[in-house]
């Protein structure tokens, strides 16, 4: 760990090309739990399975997941939310997009293995969503943004949430889940992780920073916050400086 790779307080831009390379490499690897591909904990597959289960149990009811018919999962990774939705609503129309072709390939393979042929996946960057080119056309009654914003610079976080607001159907919901800095913002810039055996970059914003970006992005839209809270009990957290936080927004009916 070096000071140059760990930046506290100040704002530093991260390099998307390096982040894409990181995820392309992870998408090509095999793990004891497929969930580790994007949720990490490479050496602790039981923990990653517990976290995935806990997240879905904690928020499914608030998301009205079983009622969701048309779903966009932005930064879908290997499509883990798609599996969950398909089990509860076989007729769900689900599209997962990700900028990593390796992750999209793995997502498609996992959908076949789990017998979820209704799930669709498409290579598309969250920083350049092209509505007319999406394989499942908007509006969506559920939009998922789970563990993505830490890999985006502030301007692109703002743009992404604005895009999500425009793509969301009346009475639709947006789910945002992110690891946040508990005491302050800090950035990992090409930080080498022994656990992951690779370098990665990420921005851990505080809750107040995240809330400010959301409020700014949706200032002209009619959204109400359903909930905002920490996701996991401390027994499922591993880092002293960060915790998983989530918020759910609902668009007013028109």
Number of structural domains in the chain: 1
Contact 118, 94 (CB under 8 A): yes
Q: How far is CA 118 from CA 108, 142, 189, 209, in A?
A: 11, 16, 38, 37
Q: What pTM did the predictor assign?
A: 0.96
Residue 44 maps to which CATH number?
A: 3.40.50.150
Cα–Cα distance for residue pair 237/136, rounded to 1 Å: 35
Contact 29, 197 (CB under 8 A): no
Instruction: Show the domain range for 150.
Output: 3-251
As a whole number of angstroms, the longest Cα–Cα distance in the chain is 52
Sequence-ordered alpha helix ranges (H) in 91-245: 101-113, 154-167, 207-217
The residues near 143 (Cβ < 8 Å, ≥ 6 apart) are 71, 72, 73, 74, 164, 167, 168, 172, 173, 174, 175
pLDDT by residue for the chain (254 residues), tens digit each? 446 788 988 889 999 999 999 999 999 999 999 999 999 999 999 999 999 999 999 999 999 888 899 999 999 999 999 999 999 999 999 999 999 999 999 999 999 999 999 999 999 999 999 999 999 999 999 999 999 999 999 999 999 999 999 999 999 999 999 999 999 999 999 999 999 999 999 999 999 999 999 999 999 889 999 999 999 998 999 888 999 999 999 999 86
Q: Which two tokens stand for residue 175?
A: 């789910």
């Amino acid at each position: 760990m070096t000071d140059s790779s760990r930046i506290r307080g100040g704002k530093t831009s991260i390099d998307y090309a390096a982040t894409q390379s990181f995820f392309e490499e992870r998408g090509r690897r095999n793990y004891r739990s497929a969930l580790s591909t994007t949720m990490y904990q490479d050496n602790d597959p039981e923990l990653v399975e517990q976290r995935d289960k806990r997240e879905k149990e904690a928020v499914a009811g608030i998301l009205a997941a079983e009622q969701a018919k048309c779903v966009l999962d932005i930064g879908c990774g290997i499509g883990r939310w798609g599996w969950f939705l398909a089990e509860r609503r076989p007729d769900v129309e689900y599209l997962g997009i990700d900028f990593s072709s390796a992750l999209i390939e793995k997502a498609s393979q996992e959908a076949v293995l789990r017998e979820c042929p209704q799930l669709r996946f498409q290579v598309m960057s969250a920083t350049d969503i092209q509505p007319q080119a999406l394989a499942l056309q908007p509006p969506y009654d559920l939009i998922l943004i789970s563990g993505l914003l830490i890999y985006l610079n502030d301007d692109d976080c703002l743009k992404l949430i604005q895009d999500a607001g425009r793509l969301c159907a009346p009475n639709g919901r947006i789910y945002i889940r992110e690891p946040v800095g508990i005491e302050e913002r800090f950035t990992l810039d090409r930080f080498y992780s022994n656990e992951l055996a690779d370098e990665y970059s990420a921005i851990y914003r505080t809750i107040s920073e995240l809330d400010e970006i959301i409020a700014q992005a949706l200032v002209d839209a009619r959204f109400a916050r359903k909930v905002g809270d920490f996701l996991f009990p401390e027994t499922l957290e591993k880092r002293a400086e960060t915790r998983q936080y989530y918020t759910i927004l609902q668009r007013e009916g028109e």
